[in-house]
Amino acid sequence: MLVLGIETSCDETGLALYDSQRGLIGEALYSQVALHAEYGGVVPELASRDHVRKLLPLLRQLLRDSGVELNDVDAIAYTRGPGLVGALLVGSATAEALALALGIPALGIHHMEGHLLAPMLEDPAPSMPFVALLVSGGHTMLIEVTGLGAYRLLGETLDDAAGEAFDKTAKLLGLGYPGGPAVARLALQGDAERFRFPRPMTDRPGLDLSFSGLKTHTRTLWQQHSSNCTNEQALQQLRADIAAGFQQAVVDTLTIKCRRAMQATGRQQLIMSGGVAANQALRENLQQVGRKHGFRISYPRMAFCTDNGAMIAYAGWLRLQDASALQPASPQPRSISARPRWPLHELKPVGRH
Ligand code: KG4
Ligand code: ZN
């Protein structure tokens, strides 16, 4: 079975082809970063329009590069939510129209399930059960995964997502958008010990997180100290030290919560995914703690941590193996649907009805 995956939930147009025999046989990504950079963040209407412009040319390119005809595709998986409604509708409408024309099924995939399954695209693939740390621009969640669709939420952020905190810190320091990679780069030149940063919600039991206090603390530090900088060099050092201290606080906080989640569940395998999982300091920290406490940690390659079509094609392929998902001849008319808000726990376990 050959599955085409379509991801358009935010500011990346992602496509991929997943073959049940050969695995991932092609992928293509168009990032809108340059388009949104001058606004300091994603402008939803511009995102939708750019997906409209780029999606079909990107599909033609993917088919050409992979040596595949559109007629060879057996099913289409697309991101149905959560995300920006206009952006989601572009992927959904395109997927449903193509599926109708080709007489094949189209399946709406939960974006966070895509992230959650992305580490399984790697070799060796982690196997379930595992605990998943999902850290992206919109979500920060710890989930116990016992099967496809069998997701128990262990904890989540009560306010900002980890990626959002990176993005806001970058904006504060004048580093532009997207913030995560910029903060991480600058942190390499900074002294994480110069200022004290809190490790939010680690002094009490539980697996929930919170990053808005850390954001306020960072803003206060910047306001207090930037006015005392007498030259550009001192200001740049201040930026780097704040970036380093902030990043270390996020990394420590996430690491403490992951260790607790592993203890609480007794699982041996941790996976992490989502844009913030591309953060090198977080990867190294978790590896160390995993070695010390006896659990394995897996994450996807950088390009599959951030939004991409491969994770959607793969999630689609896994779900399409369930007989109940494979009924293209169902009498209901096809519908173009997006779910900008879609709690992950609404997904049902697959294969155990
Ligand atoms: O998963 P993703 O591509 O999109 C969402 O579903 O949100 O995640 C994007 C988020 C952004 O907030 C971005 O700043 C953050 O991931 N990010 C990083 C890094 N690369 C991307 N955060 C920290 N360090 C990085 N290297
Ligand atoms: Zn994402």
pLDDT at 331 exceeding the cut of 90: no
Given pLDDT bands bounded at 50, 70 and 90, which one contains residue 337? confident
**137 and 220 inside one domain:** yes
327, pLDDT greater than 70 = no
Amino acid (1-letter code) at residue 264: A
225, exposed or middle or buried, with CB in 10 Å at 0-12, 13-18, 19+? middle
* Residue 351 within a domain: no
Count structural domains, the chain.
2
Distance between CA atoms of residues 235 and 125, nearest Å: 44
Beta bridge partners of 78: 6, 108
- Mean predicted confidence (pLDDT) in 184-189: 98
Domain shared by 203 and 66, yes or no:
no
Sheet architecture: strand order including 2-7: 23-31, 12-19, 2-7, 75-81, 106-110
Pairing label, strands 23-31, 12-19: antiparallel
pLDDT grade for 322, boundaries at 50, 70 and 90: confident
Secondary structure letter of residue 193 according to DSSP: T
Query: Has residue 263 got a pLDDT over 80?
Result: yes
Q: Specify the residue with its C-alpha closest to ligand 1, atom 13.
A: 180
Find, among 70, 50, 48, the residue nearest to 59 by Cα.
70
Q: Do residues 105 and 185 share a domain?
A: no
Nearest alpha carbon, ligand 1 atom 16? 275
- Round to whole Å and give the CA distance between 138 and 260: 23
Residues 133 and 265 placed together within one structural domain of the fold: yes
Q: State the pLDDT at residue 326.
A: 56
Q: What per-residue confidence (pLDDT) applies to 353?
A: 45
Per-residue pLDDT of 216-231, as tens digits, reads 999 999 999 999 999 9
Nearest atom of ligand 1 to the alpha carbon of 163: 12
Residues 255 and 160 in one domain: yes
Residues flanking ligand 1, CB < 6 Å? 10, 136-138, 163, 166-167, 178-181, 184, 274-276, 278-279, 306-307
> Is residue 142 domain-shared with residue 286, that is, in the same domain?
yes
pLDDT for position 332: 58
| Owning domain of residue 191 | 128-299
Q: Which of 12, 134, 136, 301 to mutate to test the pocket of ligand 1 (most atoms within 8 A of CB)?
A: 136
Percent with pLDDT over 90 in the chain: 93
Beta strands in 65-180 (DSSP E): 75-81, 106-110, 130-135, 140-147, 150-156
Q: Per-residue pLDDT tens for 160-183? A: 999 999 999 999 999 988 899 999
Q: Are 147 and 98 contained in the same domain?
A: no
Q: Is the pLDDT of residue 95 over 80?
A: yes
Q: Is residue 8 part of a domain?
A: yes
Confidence of residue 33 (pLDDT cuts 50, 70, 90): very high
- Determine contact, residues 211/160, Cβ cutoff 8 Å: yes
**Do 258 and 179 fall into the same domain?**
yes
Q: What is the mean pLDDT of the chain?
A: 95
Residue 79's DSSP bridge partners are: 109
Q: What does residue 348 show for φ and ψ, rounded to 5 degrees?
A: -105, 150
Q: Are residues 135 and 218 in the same domain?
A: yes
Indicate which ligand has the atom closest to the C-alpha of 278. Answer: 1
Q: Does the CA dihedral 64-26-51-341 come out positive or negative?
A: positive
Same domain, 223 and 94: no
Q: Is residue 353 part of a domain?
A: no
Domain containing 88 — which CATH number? 3.30.420.40
pLDDT value of residue 351: 79
* Residue 108 within a domain: yes
Q: Inform me whether the pLDDT recorded for 323 exceeds 80.
A: no
Q: Residue 330 falls within a domain, yes or no?
A: yes
Q: What sections of 135-279 are H helices per DSSP?
A: 162-172, 179-187, 212-226, 232-265
On the question of pLDDT at 189 being above 50, the answer is: yes
pLDDT digits (tens, 9 = 90+) for 51-73: 999 999 999 999 999 999 999 99
Confidence of residue 252 (pLDDT cuts 50, 70, 90): very high
- d(CA 124, CA 138) in angstroms, rounded, equals 28
| Mean pLDDT confidence for 233-259 | 98
237 with 295, same domain?
Answer: yes
Q: Are both 87 and 157 inside the same structural domain?
A: no
Q: What is the pTM of this model?
A: 0.96
> How far does Cα 318 stand from its chain's mean position?
19
Proximal ligand: closest to the CA of 303: 1
Per-residue confidence (pLDDT) for residue 324, from 0 to 100? 62
The predicted model gives 342-346 an average pLDDT of 95
